[in-house]
Amino acid sequence: MDFNFRERVSVFAGVHPHPIAVQTLPEVFACIQSDPGMKEQTQALRCILAAQGKDAFDRAKCRLPAVTFGGIFRHRAKAKAALVDYSGLGPLDIDKGLMDPAATRVALMRLPWIVLAYVSPSGRGVKAVARYASTDPLLHDVYTLHACRLIRESLGDCIDKAQHDYSRLSFLAGDSEAWFRPDGARLMVPDDLLQPLKPERTNVCHRRRHSGITGQDSPLPAWQADLRQHVAERVLGEIEWVDAVTGYFICPGADKHTHADKDDDCRVVLSGVPSVSCFHTSCAAEIAETNRELRSRIGTEEKRGYAIALRNGGAE
């Protein structure tokens, strides 16, 4: 079965949280290989890296166009929760101890399931895209582990670690020698490796409200944990709860971030003094304001909730 029609990706303007377009793999390749502006940006970045070092390069790199080769996403922050259509493609960074990235880019052609390869923005590594024989995102980790193993067997120890995140942002770079194989094969995985994966983290908040769980996993009384969850969701929007009092959400200052986001960068903790925090520092003002609003609204609601609990027979 041909899944090529599904190989579309979201395009982002640097690290901006919302996509600006959806493109096919041939369109992305054309930008990498032929866009004059892309080549100019890439050359300027490499000059920054040589003259000013990696920190300056990393900041400037965030202005490059970028894509999520793993598929189409509604937004970049907490991207796995925002998946619209999984592409069956696996982005791979091959950059461990490379002496000649251009030669590595050519060597990748030995692997028939690598369908795109280009030298990275730094000029020191290669970005490759593998095509998997699966359109199930839950199997992405298994296929990526197998792909990394085969690359090591073919090219040596050039991948620092398996890169499992199909929502990962990949920065583009101008490379006139990049190559694209539209009719490339699909990587198959041996049956013995296709073992059931652990299920995605479930929404603890949803389980409690609909299955009668009493909150024994929470340091807060059940009524208080439930109330704080409700208030937090009103203030913060969609939250991916990992336990009764901890969850991850889209940072209110995501548009200020100067580095790529990860799903667990922005966290809310409801035990003790309710707090939100973010790995990034460029959104400090938004985080401070969000903390003020969250604590104020929880304080107001808890006064009401505590009074109701007492009337109903006492708070836990």
Supply 196's token pair.
């059931």
Which carries the bigger pLDDT value, residue 313 or residue 7? 7
Task: Reply yes or no on whether the pLDDT at 309 is more than 70.
Answer: no
pTM above 0.75, yes or no: no
pLDDT value of position 6: 67
Residue 141 has pLDDT above 90, yes or no: no
Distances (CA, A) of 296 to 75, 113, 196, 231, 308: 29, 54, 44, 10, 19
pLDDT tens for each residue of 265-305: 899 999 889 999 998 888 888 899 999 999 998 988 887 76
Residue 296, φ and ψ in degrees, nearest 5: -65, -45
Q: How confident is the model at residue 122 (pLDDT cuts 50, 70, 90)?
A: very high
Please tell me the distance from the alpha carbon of residue 247 to that of residue 240, in angstroms, as a whole number: 5
pLDDT in tens, 104-115: 999 999 999 999
- What digits encode the pLDDT tens for the residues 172-226? 999 999 999 999 999 999 877 775 444 444 444 444 443 333 334 557 887 788 8
Distance CA 193, CA 162 (A): 15
